[in-house]
Amino acid sequence: MTTPLLYGIKGKEKKKMYDNIKEFLCSEKSREDMDRFGIYPDSFHKNGNITAFMVRGERADLLVTSFAGGFHGEEIEVNGEKWIVCPKDHLNAEALRRVFPFTSPRAVLGESSSMGLGDRLGIAAPGHLHAISGTEVYPVLAQQSMRELNLTHRTFEDVLDCASFFVFREGYKKGFGADGDHLKKKEDIRTAISCGFTMITLDCSEYIRGDALEYSDEKVLSICDADKEEEELFCTRSHRVGEYSLEFSKAELCRAKLIYNEAIEYTAEVYEELIKGSNAELELSIDETSSPTLPVHHYYIASKLRSIGVEVKSIAPRFIGEFQKGIDYIGDIKVFEEQFAVHAAIAESFGYKLSIHSGSDKFSVFPIIEKYTRGKVHLKTAGTNWLEAMKIIAKKDPGLYRRIHDYALQNALEKAKAFYHVDVTEEKVPQINDVCDEKLYTLLENDMERQLIHITYGFILDEKEFNEKLFSTWRKHDEEYAVSLAAHIKKHLTAFTPFY
């Protein structure tokens, strides 16, 4: 996937855009003029002697700037004044961030409410921004894991550039974050930070010895010992967090050490070498494990990190029940509530936020999340905007959707299941031939269809025939996509306040 460049816009389309730009530059520059000439009204910005705005083309947008500021592109002259028509490439994104600092990401985990709004396709930010406008929720618009980067053939740079251009176009000035999501290796973290990412989600799963959860107390004590100081600190008193009280037996302390000490050491290493002194905030993710994080273990991790001076801004525990991709919570809601309440109290007493991963579409637990965090939480979503984008395809090009469905089912599902923990199997997927074109989009209300399409996105996008058609259809219906995506994301805001 590449961001369309100026040089890809040719012939009639280019002439029309250039005529529009010139006429606009000779006009009054009212909102009406902007609409008339295809200029995005909220994209008109000035800083010092530099004016810039964005113009809409059929296939891509172009940036137009004053002849200053380090932008590059084609020069044009209007009434003796020079302007540059710029492609949306990396160099121009960097210039944009220099000249208009609101297009640079910043740290947002310190804000009370924040939401990860990953945009795998590079088309979702307008809908995301509509969804949170007028709220106190700070968006992380650039958010991609290595797996997502690989599957979409994108880079950290590209993901951030996309977000910057959209923030500029939509005139959003409150600040947004950029999250190098689920990073495991130091070199990837280094790359994300050097690209300007303001948040690193460290995935320690490879250092977590989850098997020790099953060990008997005797076995735990025979493998691991706690020193006197540690034993006194954890085991001789109960630990109050909010209205809850946590207790450690010696075996439980040793079990926590066995499972998490290597992960804690690695976190400390990453923090000292890469995070400290950088512009990035650290989120620790311990959610990619097979069993839920016990509240006492969460407490152990938090107090260990504090004692060695590692500042985490958020922690993502693995909650009880199942947070499968793109569908509602699976599990006993009462049990979830009991444990979530304690996790929230631990986070609050240590002064960081809970982060909820795979947070999209978990409508039945959002009120619980709100109740115990009072909106002081980070909610991460990523793939749900892809499903909303596929809903647009089902509505606008049912034939294409049917071909993609068949391809996903026959060629991609089994391979994709290696990456994701999901319930979907071939037999559970609904029969697409039973659904008429008009109702085709309602298939995406079925959990099994959602998971089928959700996890196979990389394979689908890799098919050239699909890729080109998908992107041109999304471009053609981008306003409709933004509206429906915003409506869908808004439904998630009950995690932050009951009034949204």
Q: Which residues bind Zn ion (CB under 5 A)?
A: 285, 287, 357
User: What's the closest the beta carbon of residue 123 comes to Zn ion, in angstroms?
Assistant: 23
User: What's the closest the beta carbon of residue 179 comes to Zn ion, in angstroms?
Assistant: 11
User: What's the closest the beta carbon of residue 197 comes to Zn ion, in angstroms?
Assistant: 17
> How many CA atoms does the CB half-sphere of 474 hold within 13 Å?
24
Please, which residue, 61 or 287, has the CB nearer to Zn ion?
A: 287
Our answer to whether residue 283 is catalytic in this structure is: yes
Please, which residue, 356 or 412, has the CB nearer to Zn ion?
A: 356
Q: Exposed, middle or buried, 434 (CB in 10 Å: 0-12/13-18/19+)? A: exposed
Please, which residue, 52 or 422, has the CB nearer to Zn ion?
A: 422
Q: Any long-range contacts for 328-333 (C-beta under 8 Å, 24+ apart)?
A: 328/361, 328/362, 328/363, 328/364, 328/447, 329/362, 329/364, 329/365, 330/423, 333/364, 333/365, 333/368
Q: What angle do CA 142, 144, 146 make, to 5 degrees?
A: 150
Maximum Cα–Cα distance for the chain, whole Å?
85
Distance CA 308, CA 398 (A): 56
Please, which residue, 281 or 287, has the CB nearer to Zn ion?
A: 287
Q: Are 195 and 183 a contacting pair, CB within 8 Å?
A: no
Q: Are 379 and 495 a contacting pair, CB within 8 Å?
A: yes
Catalytic residue among 61, 158, 181, 449: 181
Assign residue 309 a region (left: φ > 0; alpha: ψ between -120 and 50; beta: otherwise): left
Q: Which amino acid is at 117?
A: L
Please, which residue, 149 or 429, has the CB nearer to Zn ion?
A: 149
User: What's the closest the beta carbon of residue 347 comes to Zn ion, in angstroms?
Assistant: 16
Please, which residue, 285 or 385, has the CB nearer to Zn ion?
A: 285
User: What's the closest the beta carbon of residue 335 comes to Zn ion, in angstroms?
Assistant: 20
Please, which residue, 198 or 285, has the CB nearer to Zn ion?
A: 285
CB-nearest residue to Zn ion:
357
Instruction: Give the bridge partners for 353, in sequence order.
Output: 314
Please, which residue, 150 or 472, has the CB nearer to Zn ion?
A: 150
Distance CA 144, CA 389 (A): 17
Token readout for 75 is 């020069």
Distance CA 64, CA 83 (A): 7
Token readout for 40 is 């995005």
For the packed helices 333-350 and 366-373, what is the interaxial angle rounded to 10 degrees? 30
User: What's the closest the beta carbon of residue 325 comes to Zn ion, in angstroms?
Assistant: 10
Distance CA 441, CA 480 (A): 14
Q: What angle do CA 427, 429, 432 make, to 5 degrees?
A: 120
User: What's the closest the beta carbon of residue 145 comes to Zn ion, in angstroms?
Assistant: 8
Please, which residue, 357 or 405, has the CB nearer to Zn ion?
A: 357
Q: What is the CA radius of gyration of the chain?
A: 25
**Which element (helix H / strand E) includes 239?**
strand 239-241
User: What's the closest the beta carbon of residue 316 comes to Zn ion, in angstroms?
Assistant: 6
User: What's the closest the beta carbon of residue 355 comes to Zn ion, in angstroms?
Assistant: 8
CA trace torsion 27, 7, 54, 485 (10° rounding): 140
User: What's the closest the beta carbon of residue 288 comes to Zn ion, in angstroms?
Assistant: 6
Please report the beta strands in 438-484, taking only residues with DSSP state E, as ranges in sequence order: none
One-letter-per-residue 3-state SS of 357-389: CCCCCCCCCHHHHHHHHCCCEEEEECCHHHHHH
Catalytic residue among 252, 281, 283, 447: 283
Distance CA 242, CA 299 (A): 12
Token readout for 242 is 């909010």
Please, which residue, 161 or 287, has the CB nearer to Zn ion?
A: 287
Token readout for 363 is 């409508």
Our answer to whether residue 332 is catalytic in this structure is: no
Q: Are 407 and 466 a contacting pair, CB within 8 Å?
A: yes
Q: Mind telling me the catalytic residues?
A: 181, 283
